[in-house]
């Protein structure tokens, strides 16, 4: 009887070990540095946002939170890095809808599976875009832009950050809704495209508000409308594209989400979720990101999947109809 009792006790302890380990990992996490992978070069909005979040998390955790830039292949380099990292919460990524929702339709084959290789932590933020034109283009609003494009078919060019980039897809969506034609000129990044737009070498671009509006304020570009469904509080003079004739429901955001490798323990994901939400709600963080035209979102991890699904379906339709291929 004693032998049987001891064996039963031993089996019970073994059965409880994973739960105990999980509870210990949650209570002790983090016990070493955490790294945030940014799938872009230093200096952009994604990098700046990650570094602000990292600094706040470091103060909260009492552990270093280090940002590592892994640019390349439309977020694929960073995504593969995270997908192949240990699922322990010590490696996370600030991803966008490019890597999570657009790439599956844009590339014939990916080295990662956005639906299977990541555990969502939370939706972090989103950025709207703005329709900007060269100062030389004689238009002041979306109606005039559409009329001008119809009057000059094939003679007006638009820039993008590259084939398949959000700035490319957004313009293709507008072209189809408005029934107009314009020549696509892809660049290696948004900055050189905006430079050529200022110089008058191209005519129009749908660019991130955070990148284009400083140039508009400086008088180097003209802004026609924003891609958010309502007016931007910082630029109330700009009407939404959706208010223009034939543009109902036209809405474009670049979404950001924090993700971890698939299989990361749920209690650690929850701790990261709560910690990052707390950081995002600090007043100085809100103020700094608002100055960058970044709209905070936050919330539960479960909010990420519906966003990725909706964005993926929307952009797949545009990619398929336009026959867009990645560079």
Task: Return d(Cα 316, Cα 309) in angstroms, integer.
Answer: 10
Q: Where are the domains of the chain?
A: 31-126+253-322, 128-243
Q: Which pLDDT does position 18 carry in this prediction?
A: 44
For every residue of 235-297, DSSP letters joined together read BTTSPBGGGSTT-TT---EEEEEEEEETT--HHHHHHHHHHHHHHHTSHHHHHHHHHTT-EE-
Which residues are 129's β-sheet partners? 208
CATH code of the domain occupying 31-126+253-322: 3.40.190.150
One of 3.40.190.10, 3.40.640.10, 3.30.300.130, 3.40.50.1970 is the CATH number of 128-243, namely 3.40.190.10
Q: Is 22 helix (H, G, I), strand (E, B) or coil?
A: helix
Buried b (16+ CB within 10 A) or exposed e, 233-255: eebeebebbbbbeebeebbbbbb
Q: Which pLDDT does position 129 carry in this prediction?
A: 98
Q: Tell me what percent of the residues of the chain surpass a pLDDT of 70.
A: 92
**Per-residue pLDDT tens digits for 171-202:** 999 999 999 999 999 999 999 999 999 999 99
Most distant CA pair in the chain, distance: 94
Q: Which two tokens stand for residue 204?
A: 């129009």
- At 14, the pLDDT band (50, 70, 90 cuts) reads very low
**Per-residue pLDDT tens digits for 251-287:** 999 999 999 999 999 999 999 999 999 999 999 999 9
Task: Return d(Cα 44, Cα 2) in angstroms, integer.
Answer: 67
- Same topology between domain 31-126+253-322 and domain 128-243: yes
Q: In the block, which residue shows the tokens 């035209």?
A: 293
Tell me what the mean pLDDT of segment 157-178 comes to: 96
Task: Return d(Cα 145, Cα 142) in angstroms, integer.
Answer: 5
Which helix (H) or strand (E) segment holds residue 54: the answer is helix 45-61
**Per-residue pLDDT tens digits for 220-239:** 999 999 999 999 999 999 99
Task: Return d(Cα 36, Cα 199) in angstroms, integer.
Answer: 37
Tell me what the mean pLDDT of segment 151-164 comes to: 95
- At 325, the pLDDT band (50, 70, 90 cuts) reads confident
């Amino acid at each position: 009887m004693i032998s049987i009792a001891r064996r039963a006790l031993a089996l019970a302890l073994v059965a409880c070990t994973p739960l105990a380990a999980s509870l210990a990992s949650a209570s002790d996490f983090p016990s070493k540095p955490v790294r945030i992978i940014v799938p872009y070069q230093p200096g952009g909005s994604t990098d700046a946002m990650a570094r602000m979040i990292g600094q706040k998390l470091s103060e909260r955790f009492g552990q270093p939170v280090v940002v590592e830039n892994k640019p390349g292949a439309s977020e694929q380099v960073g995504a593969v890095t995270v997908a192949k990292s240990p699922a322990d919460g010590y490696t996370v990524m600030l991803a966008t809808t490019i890597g999570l929702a657009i790439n599956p339709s844009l590339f014939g084959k990916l080295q990662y599976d956005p639906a299977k290789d990541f555990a969502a932590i939370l939706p972090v933020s989103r950025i709207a875009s703005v329709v900007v034109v060269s100062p030389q283009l004689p238009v002041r609003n979306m109606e005039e832009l559409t009329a001008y494009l119809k009057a000059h078919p094939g003679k007006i060019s638009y820039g993008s950050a590259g084939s398949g980039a959000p700035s490319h897809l957004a313009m293709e969506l507008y072209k189809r809704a408005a029934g107009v034609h314009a020549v696509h000129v892809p660049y290696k990044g948004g900055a050189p495209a905006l430079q050529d737009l200022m110089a008058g070498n191209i005519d129009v671009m749908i660019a991130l508000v955070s990148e284009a509006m400083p140039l508009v304020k400086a008088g180097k570009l003209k802004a026609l409308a924003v891609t958010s469904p309502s007016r931007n509080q910082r630029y109330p003079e700009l009407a939404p594209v959706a208010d223009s004739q034939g543009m109902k429901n036209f809405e474009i955001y670049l979404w950001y989400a924090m993700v971890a490798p698939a299989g990361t323990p749920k209690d650690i994901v929850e701790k990261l979720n709560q910690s990052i939400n707390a950081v995002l709600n600090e007043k100085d963080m809100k103020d700094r990101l608002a100055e960058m035209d970044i709209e905070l979102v936050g919330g539960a991890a479960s909010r990420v999947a519906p966003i990725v699904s909706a964005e993926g379906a929307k952009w797949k339709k545009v990619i398929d109809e336009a026959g867009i291929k990645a560079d």
